[in-house]
Structure 1
Amino acid sequence: MPSLKPLAIAATGLFALTSASAAEIVQKVKPPVSQAYIDLATFNGGAPMAPAGGMGGMLGGLFGGGKSNDRGNSFGQTQGQAQGRWMDVTLLTRHNKELKTATQSVPSGSKLAPTLNLLAPEPTKVVAESHVASEGPGEFQMPKGKMYLYWGCGTEVRKGQPLVIDFARMDPKQMNQFFQNRNAMFRVPEPAPGRPVWPNKKDDRMLPEGASMAGEHTFAGEGVVDGFKFNIDAAHDLMPAVEATRSDDARGVLFKWKPMQQATGWFVQAMGMRDSAAAGNGDMEMVYWTSSELPDMGMGLVNYQPDSSIAKWQKEKVILPASTSECAAPKEAVSAMAMSRVIAYGDELNMAYPPRPKDPRIDWEPQWEVKVRRKSVASLTPGMGSMMGAAMAGHADDEDKAPAPRQALAQPQREQQQPQPDKPASSAAVEAIKSSAFDLFKNVLQRKAEDALSR
C-alpha cells in the first residue's frame, strides 16, 4: 500500500498556500458619493452664551472651545462649553464640489421640522499683500511659575507625583513626560465653499427645549445622491445632561455624578491655580489633575473619541468604566478655584448604503455614509458667578445684542461644605485670565515643548 505521507504533505502545503492567498485579499473600498456628519453635544454648568470676544468666548477657548455668536446659533458650538444642547451638521458630495445649499428633513420630535437649511460659506476674497513693513510681535516674556500634574482616583498623592514643569528651565525631558494628551478624535471637515453646514447665518435656530433627533432624516441637494435617508434610533439621540457634584473636605475632593444609561465611559479633569493673587502678578502655579491611571492632562480626552479608542483606554484605565459614578482627588491636586469637567462618552452611530459586503472579493462602493457622534459634559467651576460678573461688566454695551437665553438644564446641587473663595481671590483670578494666563498653556508652552523636543 503506498505511503500516505507525501499526499498529506502536499495537502498541507496546498492548504497553507490557499490560506495565504485568502489572507492577501484586500477589499477595494471607494469613498462614498455623499457624506454627512452630525455632532450632538450636551453641556451642563458651562458659561452662558456670550458675544464674541467676551468672557464666554475666553472661557470656551480655555478648554478648546468653539465659537461665540452675537445673534443666534452658530456652527462649532458642539466644540464649545456654552450651556445647552447643540448640533452641528456637515454635508459634502463628490458629484458637486460647488454645492451651496442643501436640506435635511428632520423628525417632528426635533421641533425644527420639516427641514433644516444647510448653507456653505462664500469663498473668501483674496486680499492683496501689503508691502508696508511691520514691526512684528515683541519678544515674549516667559512668566514665573510652575505647572503640576496629578492623576488617578484617590485622596492620597501617589508615588512619583506630581510631574512638574518649571517655566524657568523648560527641560525637554520634563516636558515629554508632562505633555501627555491622548486624543483620537476624528476632525469633522470645517465649513467651506461646496460644503454646506447647519447652523448657519440664514438658519441659526436653537435646538428647542425637549428636542429629539430620533427618527427619520433625509439629505437632499444638487449632486447629493437620491435616497440619502436613514434613522437615528433613541439610543443614539442627544444625551441627557451630566448631573455632577463636587464636595471638598480635609482629605480631598470628591466628584460624583448620576449614572447614565447612554454613557460608554467617563473621564474627569480639573485645572486651576494654587494662588490666583500670585498668578495675577505673573507668578503662577498651574495645577492639573485627571481621573486617568496613567499620566494625561486630559486636554484631548474631554471630547468625542472613537468607540475603539474608548475601549482601548478603558483597558489601560485611562477612561473610567461606564458603571463608575464617582472619583476622588487629592486636596493638593484640585484647588478651591479649579475648573473641573466630567464627560460622559456616547457611542457613535455609523451607517452607509449599500452595506459593506462581507465577502472581501466584492468591491464596496457606498452611495452615502453618515456618522453621528455624541457626548455630554458637566462643568463645575466654584466662584464662576463672581468671575463672570466682573469680566462681563466691561461688555454692558453689548447687552442689547445678546441672544435669548438658552434652554435651562437641570443644575446640579453643589455641596454646602464646598469652600467659597473670597472676593480678592476672584478678582485676581479674573485679572489672571485677562492677561492670558490660561492661554499660555495652549499657545506658548505647547509650541515651546514641540521646539524643545524636536532638537
Structure 2
Amino acid sequence: MVNNRRLTAAILLSATAFGAYAQSRGPAAQYWVDLSTSNVSMPGMPDEGSAGAGLLGGLMGGNAFGGSMGMGMSRGKWLDAELYVRANSNGVDGTHAIPSVMNMGPSLLLTPIRPKQSTQGSTRTSRDESTEKPKGRILLYWGCGETVRPGQPKILDFAKQEYGEYAQFFASHGAPSKGVQGRPGHSIWPNERDSKRVPNEASLLGDHAVTGDGVPASLKFTVGAGYDFLPKVQLSTKGEPKDSVLAQWQTMQNAKAYFLTAQGGAESANGAHDMILWSSSEKPDNGWALMTYQSPAQITKLLQQKVVLPPSTANCAIPKAIFEKAQGAMLNMIAYGPELNLSHPQRPQKAPADWQPEWTARVRIKSTGMTMLGMEDGGSERSAGRQSAGAGGDADATSPLPSVPNPLNLLKGIFSN
C-alpha cells in the first residue's frame, strides 16, 4: 500500500512538473498586425473620414474603436494590432513605435482587453419551443460565366432539409489564418485611449518596435516592400441582373488571388424568404469563410482547387437571371495580400523540434470592395425598377439605398419563423 501511494505521488509530481514546463514554453511575446483596405461604391455612401462613414463602419463590421476587425463598409485604410505577453496573462500597457510614413505620430498605444463580466439572470426563458420547421430556402450558385451551369443551384429548403445536413451545405474551403482576434488578456490597438484614424496615405514600410512589461527588448522588425497596404479594390459592373452581369476590376501588383461573392433576397411563391448566394469559385462555396485573410499555404491550395481566382484575373461574369427577382443584391470582392512572418532569432531552415524563438510577429494584408448589382460602373445608376418610391426619373447619389437583406439577418428570420 505504501509503495502504491509513493508511486501515485511520483506520478502526480511528474505531471505537475510537465505542466509547468509546458506552460513555460512558447515565445515570450507574440504580435499580430492586420492591414485592411476597404472600398464601397454605392449612392448615398458617406464620404471617407466623415462622421457618417465612421458610424456606418462601426455598424457594419468595425470594432468599437474604429478598427476593421472584419469586412466592414467604411472606406479607407484600417490597422488592427494585438500583443500577447506570456508572463502577464492579464495583458500589459504597450507601445508600438511606427515609421513616420504612417503619418500617425511616433507610436500607437496598446491597452489590455479585460474579460467581460457575465450578467446574472440574462438567460432567455421565453423561447418558442414549437417543433414546426422554419420556412425559406437558400439557393447557392457558383462559377464565372454568362449562363448557369448544369446541376445548379444547390438548394437548402428549411422546411424539408434535415438539420444534420446544414453543416454540409455551409461547408467552405476557407481556412482563415490566425491574426488579430481581440482576445481577453491581450493588448490591442485601436482602443478607447487611442483610436486615431489611419490616413489614406499611410504606409507600414519602415522600422517598428514594440515595448511593454515582459516584452523582449529585441522585439523590433522592419517591414519591406511588398508587405504594405494593398490599393483599394476598384470594382465595377456592367449589365442588369436579368442578364449576365460582368464584374471588372483593376489587378493589384502584390495581390496573391481574388474572390467574389454576391448575396440577395427574394420572396418565393409561398411568401417565404429565399436567400440567393453566388461565388466565383469553381466549386460550391457560400464564400463567407473566404472573405477574410487566408494564409499563403491556404491560398496556394485554393488556387490549385480553383476556388479563388489567379492574381492576373481582371473580370468575372455572374450568370444571367440569378438575381433577377432579388429585391437588391450586393457584390463583394476580396484581394488577398501577402503575409509576413517574423521571429527572433529567425527560424532556421531545418529547425530542431525544441527550437524556440524569443518572439514572433505576423502581418496579414487584404483589400475588400463592395457594390450593388445592376449599377453601372459600381454605383452610378440604379437598375430599372429599383428606384426609391416617389423618386421621379433617375436617382441621384443622395437617394436612399434599395432594401438589401443581410444574409445573417435572413438566417435569423428564417430560423425564427
Q: Using the alignment, how far apart are the partners of 1:160 and 1:188 within structure 2? A: 37
Q: Could you tell me how far 1:440 is from its partner in structure 2? A: 3.5
Match of 1:401 in 2: none
Match of 1:333 in 2: 322
- Do the aligned partners of residues 135 and 195 (structure 1) sit closer, same or farther apart at CA in structure 2, a change above 3 Å counting? closer
Amino acid at match of 2:229: L
Match of 2:281 in 1: 292
Q: Using the alignment, how far apart are the partners of 1:443 and 1:365 within structure 2? A: 49
Which of the numbers 79, 87, 97 marks the counterpart of 2:89? 97
Amino acid at match of 1:226: A
Matches within 5 A, 1:139-158: 139=129, 144-158=135-149
Residue 86 of structure 1 pairs with residue 51 of structure 2: no
Q: Using the alignment, how far apart are the partners of 2:168 and 2:89 within structure 1? A: 44
Residue 253 of structure 1 pairs with residue 248 of structure 2: no
Matches within 5 A, 1:33-432: 33-45=28-40, 60=60, 65-67=61-63, 69=64, 73-125=65-117, 127=119, 129-130=120-121, 135-139=125-129, 144-171=135-162, 175=166, 178-188=169-179, 190-249=181-240, 251-275=243-267, 283-335=272-324, 337-361=328-352, 363-381=354-372, 414=379, 418-419=383-384, 421-423=386-388, 430=403
Match of 2:21 in 1: none
Whether the 8 Å contact between 2:115 and 2:185 is mirrored in structure 1 is: no
Whether the 8 Å contact between 1:120 and 1:192 is mirrored in structure 2 is: no
Whether the 8 Å contact between 2:90 and 2:114 is mirrored in structure 1 is: no
Q: Using the alignment, how far apart are the partners of 1:220 and 1:44 within structure 2? A: 33
Which of the numbers 430, 441, 448 marks the counterpart of 2:411? 441
Whether the 8 Å contact between 1:40 and 1:78 is mirrored in structure 2 is: no
Deviates more, 1:263-272 or 1:132-141: 132-141
- Do the aligned partners of residues 218 and 257 (structure 1) sit closer, same or farther apart at CA in structure 2, a change above 3 Å counting? same
Q: Could you tell me how far 1:412 is from its partner in structure 2? A: 6.0
Whether the 8 Å contact between 2:247 and 2:317 is mirrored in structure 1 is: yes
Whether the 8 Å contact between 2:239 and 2:374 is mirrored in structure 1 is: no
RMSD: 3.6
Deviates more, 1:77-86 or 1:200-209: 77-86
Match of 1:8 in 2: none
Whether the 8 Å contact between 1:253 and 1:329 is mirrored in structure 2 is: yes
Q: Deviations over 1:41-74 (max 9, x none)?
A: 011017658889x87666x3xxxx343x4xxx43
Q: Could you tell me how far 1:30 is from its partner in structure 2? A: 5.2
Amino acid at match of 2:35: L
Give 5+ residue unaligned stretches, structure 2: 1-23, 391-398
Q: Using the alignment, how far apart are the partners of 1:117 and 1:427 within structure 2? A: 39
- Do the aligned partners of residues 103 and 443 (structure 1) sit closer, same or farther apart at CA in structure 2, a change above 3 Å counting? farther
Amino acid at match of 2:109: N
Q: Deviations over 1:345-385 (max 9, x none)?
A: 1010101110122344474221111100010011012599x
Q: Using the alignment, how far apart are the partners of 1:314 and 1:119 within structure 2? A: 38
Amino acid at match of 2:102: S
Q: Using the alignment, how far apart are the partners of 1:32 and 1:443 within structure 2? A: 45
Q: Could you tell me how far 1:195 is from its partner in structure 2? A: 1.4
When normalised by structure 2's length, the TM-score is 0.79
Q: Could you tell me how far 1:76 is from its partner in structure 2? A: 4.5
Report the 3-state secondary structure (helix = DSSP H, G, I; strand = E; otherwise coil) of the residue aligned with 1:205.
coil
Deviates more, 1:283-292 or 1:189-198: 189-198
Q: Using the alignment, how far apart are the partners of 1:98 and 1:50 within structure 2? A: 34
Q: Deviations over 1:103-127 (max 9, x none)?
A: 0000000011211111113444455
Q: Could you tell me how far 1:232 is from its partner in structure 2? A: 1.0
Report which of the two has the higher share of helix: 1
- Do the aligned partners of residues 315 and 192 (structure 1) sit closer, same or farther apart at CA in structure 2, a change above 3 Å counting? closer
Report the 3-state secondary structure (helix = DSSP H, G, I; strand = E; otherwise coil) of the residue aligned with 2:355.
coil
Amino acid at match of 1:233: G
- Do the aligned partners of residues 174 and 427 (structure 1) sit closer, same or farther apart at CA in structure 2, a change above 3 Å counting? farther
Deviates more, 1:347-356 or 1:170-179: 170-179
Aligned residues: 376
Q: Could you tell me how far 1:84 is from its partner in structure 2? A: 1.6
- Do the aligned partners of residues 136 and 319 (structure 1) sit closer, same or farther apart at CA in structure 2, a change above 3 Å counting? same
Report the 3-state secondary structure (helix = DSSP H, G, I; strand = E; otherwise coil) of the residue aligned with 1:184.
coil
Q: Could you tell me how far 1:199 is from its partner in structure 2? A: 0.3
Amino acid at match of 2:251: P
Q: Using the alignment, how far apart are the partners of 2:148 and 2:173 within structure 1? A: 22
Q: Using the alignment, how far apart are the partners of 2:85 and 2:69 within structure 1? A: 24
Whether the 8 Å contact between 1:78 and 1:86 is mirrored in structure 2 is: no
Amino acid at match of 1:41: S
